[in-house]
Amino acid sequence: MNISERKLTLLCDFYELTMARGYFNSEIKNKIAYFDVFFRRVPDGGGYAIAAGLESVIEYIKSLKFEDSDIEYLRSKGIFDEEFLSYLKGFSFTGDIWAVPEGTVVFPNEPIMIVRAPLVEAQFIETFVLLALNHQSLIATKASRIVRAAQERAVSEFGARRAHGADASVYGARAAYIGGVNSTSCVLADKMFGVPAGGTMAHSWVQMFDTEYEAFETYCRLYPKAPTLLVDTYDVLKSGVPNAIKAFKAALSEEEQKSCAIRIDSGDLTYLSKKARKMLDQAGLTHCKIVASNALDEYLIRDLLLQGAPIDVFGVGERLITAKSEPVFGGVYKLTAIEDENGNITPKIKISENAIKITTPNFKNLYRFYSKETGKAEADLLTVYDEEINENEPYELFDPNHVWKRKTMENYTLRKLLVPVFKNGECVYQTPTAMEIRRNCQNELFTMWDEVLRFENPHNYYVDLSERLWQEKNALLKSAKSKR
């Protein structure tokens, strides 16, 4: 069941309803609001993140309506007047949304989504927008790190049983696929999104038979096309691998033996995989792959490969599906401008004692500069919505936090990252398949310098402000002091 088939309208924070009523009964209810969705830092100290979750937002907004049971529930709270409840009964989203496509490499403090809508509507969708983008971007980013650590070896997402609920399992598997994993153990993710599902066997399969060999031989006869045998139920080297070799020889043809595999799920994976590889090769099973699992993440995978572990496939579960090392993406939803009935846009800014929490005001565009010489991304640029950039002319970039650091871009191409998703409440975006998004993500990563992608002390990719936007932000900071 996808989002559109469930009643998720009240999957919101209660203050969105109380604020909605307050707006509805005030003079500002007809104002148009602009909200940016952005994050302030990359999880795990990384240099980049992967945007995901847009499809869930689209499906939610398409199905957004208050059922009679929703109205009755709100009436029972005793704080919402009948005029407001009547308004909610006919509620639908009528605004505009721009977003970066899923699979796009994104960076802190740049909008990955912009919402422009009547104030009540824009405020009401905040919770679902954030939960979808935060969760799926987190998992896609973690998956990308794990896949990079595996150095082109296959990675399978194994985390369904450890995910934080059913949706976290299914949508997490989709996000992990976008981030680069090859397959998932979650069958529903395959049915819903086309994420290739596959698996091996559980230890209980081996235990159910009188002997380990009988369990293996039976499985090979049932599934002669690419069988994977779990060899650590009893003893990997004394019985598991020898019995697997014997079963492969007995039940598979010579051609089928070229696509078999064993899986090791415990113990010293480097030592065991080296010994197993030697035993398999001596038996003539040089094509037999070794799959490793057991609480893996990017750092453990990197260390295994540095130690020379001859592992072909990594099964990654809980540390991927929960992003265990840092399980919060930290995306926020902040007001940046309001628009009156004449179309005049007034920028808004939020200030804070913490400099990182000061927002960048106004309705904006987001551009990415690419070098024509290398094809690599050089910097992102935030501008006021009506600024134009001529690709045929040099453009001077500067770091808004260190204004003396300037770089003149020449011989570049420019890409506008935010694309229209909703226009006047109608979806104008054709959602790609998960496979297409995954391919887009791979292409995106190819445009990034290795220094941005490394795990430790990554290069600080610049997200710059146009001089006009920077001047506007500083003017608002100064004027905000008078409102304290």
CATH code: domain 145-321 is 3.20.20.70
What backbone phi and psi angles, to 5 degrees, belong to 130? -70, -45
pLDDT of 407: 87
Q: Angle, to 10 degrees, between the axis of helix 434-446 and the axis of helix 126-149?
A: 60
- Burial group, residue 326, by CB count within 10 angstroms (0-12, 13-18, 19+): middle
What does the pLDDT read at residue 484?
A: 59
Q: Can you give the residue ranges of every domain in the chain? A: 3-139+329-366+417-483, 145-321
Q: Which residues on adjacent β-strands are paired with residue 334?
A: 36
Which contacts (CB < 8 Å, 24+ apart) does range 69-77 have?
A: 70/7, 70/9, 70/10, 73/10, 74/17
Contact 58, 136 (CB under 8 A): no
Class of domain 3-139+329-366+417-483: alpha beta
Amino acid at 281: D
Q: How far is CA 164 from CA 39, 143, 161, 319, 447, in A?
A: 22, 17, 9, 12, 33
For residues 212 and 85, the answer to whether their CB atoms sit within 8 Å is no
Give CA separation, 124 vs 92, 340, 413, 482, in Å: 11, 19, 38, 30
**For residue 139, how many other CB atoms are within 10 A of its CB?**
33
Contacts of 60 (CB under 8 A, 6+ apart): 3, 4, 8, 125, 128, 132
Write the CB contacts of 477 (distance below 8 Å, at least 6 apart in sequence): 349, 351, 358
The predicted structure's pLDDT at residue 352? 85
**Phi first, then psi: what are they for 297, rounded to 5°?**
-145, -175
Q: Are 481 and 68 in contact (CB under 8 A)?
A: no
Name the residue among 15, 294, 323, 293 with its Cα closest to residue 154. Answer: 293
Residue 96 has phi, psi (to 5 degrees) of: -120, 145
Mean pLDDT by 10 residues, the chain (484 residues): 70 96 90 97 97 98 96 97 96 97 98 97 97 98 98 96 96 98 97 95 97 98 97 98 98 97 98 98 98 97 98 97 96 96 94 89 98 96 95 86 80 97 98 97 97 95 94 90 62
pTM for the full model?
Answer: 0.95
Shortest CA distance to 102 belongs to which of 62, 127, 135? Answer: 135
CB count in 10 Å sphere of residue 327: 13
CA-CA distance, 416 to 414, in Å (whole number)? 7
